[in-house]
Structure 1
């Protein structure tokens, strides 16, 4: 097989253009090819389900789950297991063919929905259907922008599904949008409209997940989280899936084993439900990209519930477990159907024989500033703005990553004037959430709303402030947007913000490689999207100060 690939879906893509030999993430060329084929097959299945809905057929939830899980599996740093992905291709094609048989005349469907692909043809077919199979640069750019947004939307949908919340309208849109990326009759303008519609459903998807999370676990509240360690053996849980955490805490209660969160699981501590577990010890470590050192020193088993897996070192590989969308050759995988309990007893048994975590830091960090908590503080916040104690809010949500250029966000946070407050969500927070930035009249200068999907909270907070101040647009608020991005969940957050009318978002450390010059121009002209410069230049720009 020709060892060529092309992937440019994440911010760290090689040379800012595209990975062609191996992903910077560690993804091998053959895994990338199988992911390309899985996306192609999923688009074909989606064309079939969309056609069936058009004639009044109801699509079963398990088919919707196949689509969302397939997209989630192909998100950056989620699944590196070619055989697991191959099995998903096989299942997807089987479902596609079974459902297509219900159509009286499927001849109008695109090739991805009709053509037979034998398992011995997977590798060859994968070469034909990757990103570069769309020749027109602008059409390709928009198709990929939409697809990556749908990948992010699928991740959030999957978490809501895990809490038994279904949204058939959202699933129908998601599948119809996937099918439209196969439609050569659609113009650039058509695809731009579809991009904004994807943002609309991004808002809906995040609202669904917010409702599922708060319905199950309560509204996040201001919480101090311990970042030191205890003396018991521990299990470290990483990723975003709160239902996985709930099951792990239930099964470890009374065992003498502590549970620690890592990276994007940190905000679980803010939910009232989880505070009843006395063995829920705290947060260990930082953002995802530091896991090679931090997983080593944790000493106990690690459960990866979603993407953000770095290919593990041999020294601790036997302690890393996967579930859900995550996969890596040689790692042990635990799963169960939606609504059923996963059996984490093998992880618990391994933890019994491990040393307690090695302490790498100590102290506490504060978070829990999701929408309801901030609404409860609204009078205090509004008074601080009216009095001039708070001059500006800076939304610094998004992702962290290993590139040196991301130090910009730490330096930017340090350089902010003392009357500025950071609103954050996502693992971008690790660039500044341990800095001694203080507070303004008791309001912390870093307000952490939670995970990347909790950027929805930041949007609700902005809309509430617009209402309170009687403004016509969120863009009239003293809020600046300086957002870091890394992967596809950040793409759906961006599209959601654009749909809500937010303008002048600065995106860094680099603009997406998948934006063609013409598509980037559309975003700049219509929404004021911009990159980042130096800390000093950007601060002057955001604060309206001359050089």
Structure 2
């Protein structure tokens, strides 16, 4: 096993026995084998597309399978075995339709096109271990580094693409890019320059995917509006929803209406309270807990059922495992899974059987709902504030949270930001400071929660709109981006920012282990990307002078 795709990877170099996320060597091997089988399928799809043989179901399958390999999504070996077998069966079917001559030619292009999975799970795992996927990407460490960056970017892109497709928003060019790129990184004749271009193109395509997701979210549930969310609870039965999927939350709210169960969000579901079509449910009460890495402590104390949607699951502990349900792509062995029919009756029944909260607890409130529509609704005040000298600088402080030391930097940074500056935030990184009372500047809150990591499109739209209002380039704005990363959604967001030419981004708490010194130097020279300083005060002094 060698896994270095997340920020917390062991010793800052790679997990070799078990993942810090809880991923076993067996699951890691199966994820590598699934990726390999998808590469073979993608090579075939390049030919099958010319004959219009690729169905929507196949596009969805590949996107979901790529997403399933993202950190903290699925840990169930049986499901990976099913995805591997399905990918090979789809490949065989397409080759049959293409004919023997084309099939023979394609099988000679790369071994993944003729890959045959073992029948038994243990033998399949051994195949994945022998594959050694990362090492097989390229002999040259710099080219391999860029191919890893592209692969991890694809996993983040697949996540956003799948989220958007669930809400009926799709663009065939995004699917084509995913397939073509999976196939392309099997080649060993690509130059460093070609791979750099492909890396940035990955970011460009992701901007399209994030736009689709934003359109799906706001088109279905309305534009988020500033909303006060209680952090305490009220007496009654309870269900906790974590993850990212708004549609799962909507369906659960519909199915629990009138049943005496209050719905609470956890983690990145917090911004859902700002959507008009979700907040209209009277039993959608408040938020419980903080970021994903604290779930084992927080969920053990939650007196109701718990529903995981998409990524960020940790191994459920025995003292609350029976209360946990997964749905969609997220999964854990021996944890109850709600299939795509989305009948949440087992979750509801479990919530009714558990005690729920026995009394009310007031635990303060936070504000959400400052998406691009809400922020640009007060653009005139913001512009006037900047011109009058009342707003000196904007900081986007956000990204993934995690348990690794060094993340207190982000709390310190926000606490030390001067009172004439505004902090925008998104994703679970905000839980380091989301409840800080920073006040306002002429009625504009100094802490603006833009939303989930899925809402990074909003942050980009705000930056672009402000640049337009001031008739300048985004890099000329009084705006600094201070980002934290953990997994592949953060990787693809960074690639999107770089593809837009945004420079001087500060990234932490550590730099990706899959970047070689040469590739890192390239990013520094081209985009002035830099690691966060040892202290927040140092970076603030450098930025503000």
Does 2:541 match 1:531?
no
SS in 1 for 2:97: coil
Question: Separation in 2 of the partners of 1:264 and 1:271?
Answer: 14
1:61 matches 2:64: no
Partners in 1 of 2:505 and 2:370 — Cα distance? 22
The alignment covers a number of residue pairs equal to 534
Per-residue deviation at 1:117? Answer: 2.9
2 CA distance for matches of 1:305 and 1:195?
29
Residue of structure 2 equivalent to 1:37: 33
In structure 2, what is the equivalent of residue 442 of structure 1?
Answer: 443
2:355 equivalent in structure 1: 355
User: Quick check: 2:234–2:361 contact (8 Å CA) kept in 1?
Assistant: no
Q: Does 1:267 align with 2:267?
A: no
Q: Report the alpha carbon displacement of residue 185 of structure 1 after superposing the two structures with TM.
A: 1.4
Query: CA shift at 1:288, angstroms?
Result: 0.6
Distance 1:476 1:58, change over 3 A: farther
Tell me what 1:86 maps to: 81
Shift of 1:166: 2.2
Question: Does structure 2 retain, via aligned residues, the 8 Å contact 1:396–1:481?
Answer: yes
Alignment-derived partner of residue 486 in structure 1: 486
2:45 to 43, 49, 62: 49
Q: Which residue of 2 aligns with 1:131?
A: 134
2:230–2:364 CA contact under 8 A, matched in 1: yes
Work out the CA distance in 1 between the residues paired with 2:362 and 2:428.
18
Q: TM-score, normalised by structure 2?
A: 0.96
String of CA shifts for 1:326-371, please: whole Å, max 9, x gaps.
11111000111xxxx4100111011011122487861110011111
My pick for the range that moved more, 295-304 or 130-139, is: 130-139
Of 12, 15, 27, 1:19 maps to 15
Structure 2 gaps of 5+ residues are: none
Within 5 Å, give how 1:366-445 maps onto structure 2: 366-445=367-446
SS of residue matched to 1:277: coil
CA deviation after TM superposition for structure 1 residue 51, in Å: 2.1
Q: Which residue of 2 aligns with 1:512?
A: 512
Root-mean-square deviation (CA, aligned residues, Å) is 1.3
2:157 is matched with which residue?
A: 153
Q: Tell me the SS of whatever aligns to 1:304.
A: strand
Matched residue SS, 1:80: coil
Q: How does 1:196-235 map to 2 (within 5 A)?
A: 196-235=200-239
CA distance in 1, matches of 2:111, 2:119: 17
Query: Could you tell me how far 1:49 is from its partner in structure 2?
Result: 1.1
**In the alignment, what sits opposite 1:365?**
366
Evaluate the alpha carbon distance shift between residue 236 and residue 85 of structure 1 in structure 2; reply closer, same or farther with a 3 A threshold: same
User: Which residue pairs with 2:173 in the alignment?
Assistant: 169
> SS in structure 1 opposite 2:205?
helix
CA distance in 1, matches of 2:45, 2:132: 20
Rounded Cα–Cα distance in structure 1 between residues aligned with 2:92 and 2:140: 30
1:249 match:
253
Superposed CA offset, 1:276-322 (max 9, x none): 10000111110111111111111111100011111111010011101
